């Protein structure tokens, strides 16, 4: 019983570290509480599912592994192996290159902390080796979000440019329009709207969405 409580405590610590000020973990009579009520998993799934729900306000839906850049590379394989132990698979475009090293270091610290506990309420958590951390970091940096250079896009001051800036900056750095072709941007924008809905962000209406898409299509990469 003591071991189970200790394991649950580790999960709560990791979750609260991930959520920062968004987490409110209280203890009443030795029972963990979250947001004023007892922690539980309504769907009866694993603690991993519960942790993903707890972090739902911070994390968009996971990416399909097939959509990862170089999905068969060592970096993609290790990203899937370690990141999905606690939450859904993140895409490299979630951060710019400079942001990934501290994010990976923070996640590695949590995995090491939980791996030392052996079997936890989330199952057995494995921590990557130093080499694997380096591979994951290099992979994420290589395919990270490429931020826009405002000097190259004076149209950011237009109505559509401002809509693009406000909408996309809710979740990540403004992407360089040339990351995608004109043909690719509509589906990318629609996918991002789905992420915004899950994360509780402001979703643009259809007219604004079309303005954003046209703004990006006109400035998108030519060719394939």
Residue 2: Cβ within 10 Å count: 6
Mean pLDDT of 29-45: 33
66, with CB counted inside 10 A (0-12, 13-18, 19+), is exposed
Is the pLDDT confidence value at 117 over 60? Answer: yes
Q: Mean pLDDT across the chain, nearest whole number?
A: 80
Mean pLDDT of 126-150: 96
Least-confidence region, from 44-48, 130-134, 142-146, 216-220: 44-48
**For the segment 163-207, what is each residue's pLDDT rounded down to a tens digit?**
999 999 998 999 999 999 999 999 999 999 998 998 889 999 999
Reported as a pLDDT band with limits 50, 70 and 90, residue 61 is confident
Reported as a pLDDT band with limits 50, 70 and 90, residue 45 is very low
pLDDT, residue 120, reads 59
pLDDT, residue 27, reads 28
Is the pLDDT confidence value at 14 over 80? Answer: no
Reported as a pLDDT band with limits 50, 70 and 90, residue 19 is very low
Buried/exposed 150-185: b ≥16 CB within 10 Å, e otherwise: eeebeebeeebbebbbebbeeebbbbbbebbbbeeb
- In contact, 164 and 216? CB cutoff 8 Å: yes
Reported as a pLDDT band with limits 50, 70 and 90, residue 62 is confident
Residue 77 CA: distances (Å) to CA of 71, 73, 74, 82, 221: 7, 6, 5, 9, 28
Is the pLDDT confidence value at 3 over 70? Answer: no
């Amino acid at each position: 019983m003591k071991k189970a409580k200790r394991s649950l405590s580790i999960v709560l610590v990791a979750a609260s570290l991930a959520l920062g000020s968004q987490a409110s973990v209280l203890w009443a009579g030795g029972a963990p509480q979250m947001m004023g009520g007892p922690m539980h998993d309504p769907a009866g799934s694993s603690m991993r599912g519960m942790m993903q729900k707890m972090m739902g306000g911070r994390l968009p839906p996971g990416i399909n592994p097939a959509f990862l850049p170089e999905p068969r590379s060592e970096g993609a394989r290790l990203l899937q192996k370690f990141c999905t132990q606690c939450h859904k698979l993140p895409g490299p475009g979630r951060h710019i290159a400079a942001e990934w090293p501290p994010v990976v270091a923070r996640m590695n610290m949590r995995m090491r902390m939980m791996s030392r506990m052996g079997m936890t309420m989330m199952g057995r958590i494995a921590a990557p080796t130093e080499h694997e951390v380096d591979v994951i970091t290099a992979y994420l940096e290589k395919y990270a979000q490429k931020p826009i250079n405002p000097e190259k896009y004076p149209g950011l001051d237009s109505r559509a440019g401002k809509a693009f800036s406000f909408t996309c900056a809710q979740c990540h750095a403004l992407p360089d329009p040339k990351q995608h072709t004109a043909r690719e941007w509509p589906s990318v924008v629609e996918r991002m709207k789905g992420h915004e809905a899950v994360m509780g962000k402001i979703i643009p209406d259809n007219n604004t969405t079309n303005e954003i898409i046209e703004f990006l299509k006109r400035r998108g990469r030519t060719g394939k």
